[in-house]
Amino acid sequence: MSDDHRKILREMFDAAVGAAHPSLCLPPYLAKVTPPKGRTIVVGAGKAAAAMAAAVEKHYPAPVEGLVVTRYEHGAPTSRIEVVEASHPVPDAAGREAAKRVLKAVEGLTSDDLVLALISGGGSALLALPAEGVSLEEKQIVNKALLKSGATISEMNCVRKHLSAIKGGRLARAAAPARVVALMISDVPGDDLSVIASGPTVPDATTRQDALAVIAKYKIEAPAAVLAHLNSPACETPKPGDPIFERVQNILIATPQGSLDAAAAVAKKAGFTPCILGDLEGESRDVALVHAGIAKQIALHGQPFEPPVAIISGGETTVTVRGKGKGGRDAEFLLALTLALEGFGEISAIACDTDGIDGSEDNAGAIMTPDSFARAQRAGVDLKALFANNNAYTGFEKLGDLIVTGPTRTNVNDFRVILVPKRV
């Protein structure tokens, strides 16, 4: 791969992240929020929450107070809105205490007050306030099992909502009769508002029976207290049509599609025809095989586009963990792609998480070069064995092709590009 292609891949990733950064995407929407007669309480949760709070302090024309919770090391400097850090993806006591304080902050408000809710991906694990009768430890057991099961984000959040005292519309219920404006950065396929951070301000159409079905589907060994709670009608969430949502606005301010479009503009400027596949779900290794098939068809036959082409996709894939290695869903995708394209032409690729953290490691993702497999062989690195052990991180670490950005303070989920150069 030429240095030019490596540079183009990185520029596309940077453009995708930049399009969803709160400093850019939040101010235009803040300008449309009319300040209230009373107080403006700012609450929020997610990987972008601190950067969103900083943007509110800079651009909102009325006094604000409140707190937001974000992932450890995702904080940002603020003066009037407190930033609390907690654990993600497995919730901890800091997230539980922060969620208690968020609920407390919106209690006792009047119809003259405004709750400005700043919601982004990751907020579900960060607002970790278990429902009555369920302990944090019991919720952690279920959460860890779901993360390893291969469940989709929608399925995981269905369960989380029904085990929560704040998600699934319950934050909006606590804030009534105040006006609520939720500004949301989407990290989910289809931009379903009720799935983003498990929808603390959004009506929930899923049921406790749906949550039980997810647990059964993935054979989750849930604690007795969890099952007892899900079998109780008292655990049901506020539904569409509930009057508590009459004074609630949920507004998308950044989407995965917007970031894919920003990356496509970079590709086009560099001479590559962008082919956007959209937000995708499924097992990372299976999604990689589909991408490899499309790349081969373009390279060999010029269908459905004549190269040079940039295949672009987002969404949130999953990894059913079978081994004991290191690696998030983006590294797993990229290693599967590397194996599928072994020795095939001059194709290069990037796969990264837009929040800067691929799973639980320190990298955003990695880059694949046309000679990744050959270089690994020369270095004595068995990529197939690493793949079988879910150890993609180690493979790209040994090749020197990890991408480490640190926290980006936004999150529109996975970002993938495959560059198929002009046929010679």
9 and 124 inside one domain: no
10 and 85 inside one domain: no
Q: What is the pLDDT of residue 201?
A: 98
Query: Is the pLDDT at 2 greater than 70, yes or no?
Result: no
Q: Which of 219, 254, 289 is the last residue of a domain?
A: 254
Q: What is the pLDDT of residue 1?
A: 52
413 and 307 inside one domain: yes
248 and 295 inside one domain: no
Structure confidence by residue, pLDDT tens digits, 187-199? 988 899 999 999 9
Query: Is the pLDDT at 99 greater than 60, yes or no?
Result: yes
Q: Which of 254, 285, 319 is the last residue of a domain?
A: 254
Residue 153 banded pLDDT, cuts 50, 70, 90: confident
Query: Is the pLDDT at 424 greater than 70, yes or no?
Result: no
Structure confidence by residue, pLDDT tens digits, 388-421? 999 999 999 999 999 999 999 999 999 999 999 9
Residue 345 banded pLDDT, cuts 50, 70, 90: confident
189 and 72 inside one domain: yes
277 and 405 inside one domain: yes
Q: What is the pLDDT of residue 359?
A: 82
Our count of domains for the chain comes to 2
Query: Is the pLDDT at 240 greater than 90, yes or no?
Result: yes
Per-residue pLDDT averaged across 36-63, rounded?
97
Within a domain: 147: no
247 and 105 inside one domain: yes
CATH number at 248 reads 3.40.50.10180
User: By residue range, what is the domain housing residue 342?
Assistant: 3-16+257-420
Query: Is the pLDDT at 314 greater than 90, yes or no?
Result: yes
Within a domain: 381: yes
Per-residue pLDDT averaged across 79-83, rounded?
98
Structure confidence by residue, pLDDT tens digits, 113-140? 999 999 999 999 999 899 999 999 999 9
Measure the CA angle with vertex 282, ends 377 and 383; round to 5°.
10
Query: Is the pLDDT at 321 greater than 90, yes or no?
Result: no
Query: Is the pLDDT at 161 greater than 90, yes or no?
Result: yes
Within a domain: 146: no
282 and 249 inside one domain: no
Per-residue pLDDT averaged across 159-177, rounded?
96
Q: What is the pLDDT of residue 192?
A: 93
Q: What is the pLDDT of residue 343?
A: 83
Q: What is the pLDDT of residue 360?
A: 79
Q: Which of 254, 287, 318 is the last residue of a domain?
A: 254
Within a domain: 155: no
- Secondary structure (H, E, C), the chain: CCHHHHHHHHHHHHHHHHHCCHHHHCHHHHCCCCCCCCCEEEEEECCCHHHHHHHHHHHCCCCCEEEEEEECCCCCCCCCEEEEEECCCCCCHHHHHHHHHHHHHCCCCCCCCEEEEEEECCHHHHCCCECCCCCHHHHHHHHHHHHHHCCCHHHHHHHHHHCECCCCCHHHHHHCCCEEEEEEECCCHHHCCCCHHHCCCCCCCCCHHHHHHHHHHCCCCCCHHHHHHHCCHHHCCCCCCCHHHCCEEEEEEECHHHHHHHHHHHHHHCCCEEEEEEEECCEHHHHHHHHHHHHHHHHHHCCCCCCCEEEEEEECCECCCCCCCCCCHHHHHHHHHHHHCCCCCCCEEEEEECCCCCCCCCCCEEEECCCHHHHHHHCCCCHHHHHHCCCHHHHHHHHCCEECCCCCCCCCCEEEEEEECCCC
Within a domain: 114: yes
Q: What is the pLDDT of residue 106?
A: 98
Q: What percent of the chain has pLDDT over 70?
A: 99
Q: What is the pLDDT of residue 3?
A: 74
355 and 324 inside one domain: yes
Q: What percent of the chain has pLDDT over 90?
A: 91
Residue 90 banded pLDDT, cuts 50, 70, 90: confident
Per-residue pLDDT averaged across 150-169, rounded?
93
11 and 55 inside one domain: no
Residue 205 banded pLDDT, cuts 50, 70, 90: very high
32 and 179 inside one domain: yes
Structure confidence by residue, pLDDT tens digits, 363-378? 999 999 999 999 999 9
Within a domain: 109: yes
Q: What is the pLDDT of residue 327?
A: 85
CATH number at 416 reads 3.40.1480.10
246 and 364 inside one domain: no
Within a domain: 159: no
Within a domain: 108: yes
Q: What is the pLDDT of residue 289?
A: 98
